[in-house]
Every structure is written in structure tokens, then in C-alpha cells.
Copies of this chain bind each other. A is one copy, B any other.
């Protein structure tokens, strides 16, 4: 028996496949290829463009915008601002991935300026990155979550409260991903228990998820909370399915391919059975 929420998540995947949203990504050069391929895998269509002269036009022909500060520079940050404002004007969903937000003053300033000047449908990061955004302080050791920031089961209620409060403050859906994923708006949170620890041994699974989130929110614009939760659950479940395929000699590179493959082959039926979430 599929309950109502699960049924909605299934429809959201089908909407991405039906509508094939075109997603404009201004993202880092490390994981851009994987982001493009996972967008296609989930049913969307990717375009990357970061020249300030063209980004507002590119955004205008797209259905959603994905901003990722993985390898920012002053030129591309300017383009993020321009594209973000164009997308906001057109009411296109915009997703922010504040990669390593606390790793430098430049990244922190960039993240804060993006938050001040743009309206995001969803902000997705690890707990250290989201804490940095929320506190203005925080600490990020590189692009992975700090050990001291790892979410323990006991802390879940606190983190949910934190996510809801930050969602209320920003008007964005907040997606905090890690061993357990929390996706929250001001009122409601999804706790998602999909995924596999080995996913953290691939560069850019977070970037890929943010790109997919933009696709899901663009194809399901009326329900950004559920759309983001659906993307998070799909990514995690794809990580589980892909992990089962691994043979003894496979490592993180084959795993990377298999996760994208699993998204490509994911059906609504599979997702309905595999999604592990609770609402709080």
C-alpha cells in the first residue's frame, strides 16, 4: 500500500520526466559533468553558462536555476547575481548550494550576498555549510561537514528546529544532507533515511543533488518542500541501489557511475518502495 505522501513523491518524479525542465547551472568545473549527466538521468535537461553577458538570457529560456559556489571567482559570482535576479523576476525556482561556505571570507561573503540579494526556493548543503549561513560564524573544514557538526540521532530534534527556523527566516526550503537528511520549511520537516555512507567517497554527490533539486522544484513549483524532499530521497535511494551492484573490486569511481545509472533507471514504483522518510 502506497500512502498519500509517497504517491505525491512518485508523481513528482513523473512530472520531471514529463516536463523535462531545462536547468541553468552556474556551478563549479570539478563536478559540472556529473551534474549535467544526473540532470539528464532524472529526466531534466542541463545547460551551463556563466558569462555575465548571457546569463540572464539563458536563465530566461530555462525553467530553473542552480547556483553552486564550489569553485567561485569574482567573474562567476557576478554572473550568479545577475542570473539569480533574472530568475527571481521570472519566478523561476532558484537553488543554492553553498559549497564550503565557511572555508574562506570570500565564500562566506559570497554566500551572504547571495542570500541578501536573491530569493532561493531551496538551499541545500551539509550541516556545517548551513550553520555557516545561519550564524554568520560557523566553521567549515574544506567542503565536507566538520566532525563536530555531524548530526547524532539525539540531536535530530534540535537540527529540525534549527532548519525550520532558518527556513522561516529565509523563506527558503532548507535541505541539510548527511547520514540523515532533513528537508524543512518553516512548518514541516521531512526526515529522510535513504543513502549509503560510501556516497561521501565520491566528489560532488552534493552538487549533483542540488542540480536535481532544481529540476524537481522546477517541475513541481507549487510544492518546493516536497519536491526537494523527493530529490533528496531519490538521490539517497539511488545510492543504495547502486551500492548493491558493486562488486569487490569496484570503488568510488564505478560507484559514481552506478549512482547516475540508478537515477536514470529509477521508476516511480521503485521510488515508492525505496523512499524512507518521516514527517515531523
Contact = CB atoms under 8 A, between A and B. Distances in A.
Interface of A: 22, 28-34, 36-37, 40-41, 45-51, 53-54, 57-58, 61-62, 70-75, 100, 103-107, 141-144, 201-204, 241, 245, 248-254, 256-265
A44 to B, nearest CB: 10
Contact of A51 (B22, B74, B245, B262): B74
A142 to B, nearest CB: 5
A106 B58 CA distance: 10
A258 to B, nearest CB: 7
Contacts of A104: 49, 53-54, 57-58
A106 B28 CA distance: 21
B57 A106 contact: yes
Contact of A256 (B31, B201, B253): B253
A70 B51 contact: no
A33 B36 contact: no
A251 B71 contact: no
Nearest to A47: B142
A105 B32 CA distance: 23
Contact of A58 (B57, B103, B259, B260): B103
User: How many monomers of this chain does the complex have?
Assistant: 3
A143 B262 contact: no
Contacts of A201: 40-41, 264
Nearest to A259: B253
A61 B250 CA distance: 31
Contact of A22 (B142, B257, B265): B142
B251 A45 contact: no
A8 to B, nearest CB: 25
Given A75-B73, A142-B62, A261 B245 contact: no
A28 to B, nearest CB: 7
A107 B263 CA distance: 32
Nearest to A238: B251
Nearest to A265: B251
A76 to B, nearest CB: 9
Given A49-B104, A57-B105, A202 B40 contact: yes
A242 to B, nearest CB: 9
Contacts of A204: 33, 36
B142 A106 contact: no
A26 to B, nearest CB: 10
A74 B53 contact: yes
Contacts of A260: 251-253
Contacts of A253: 37, 41, 256-261, 264
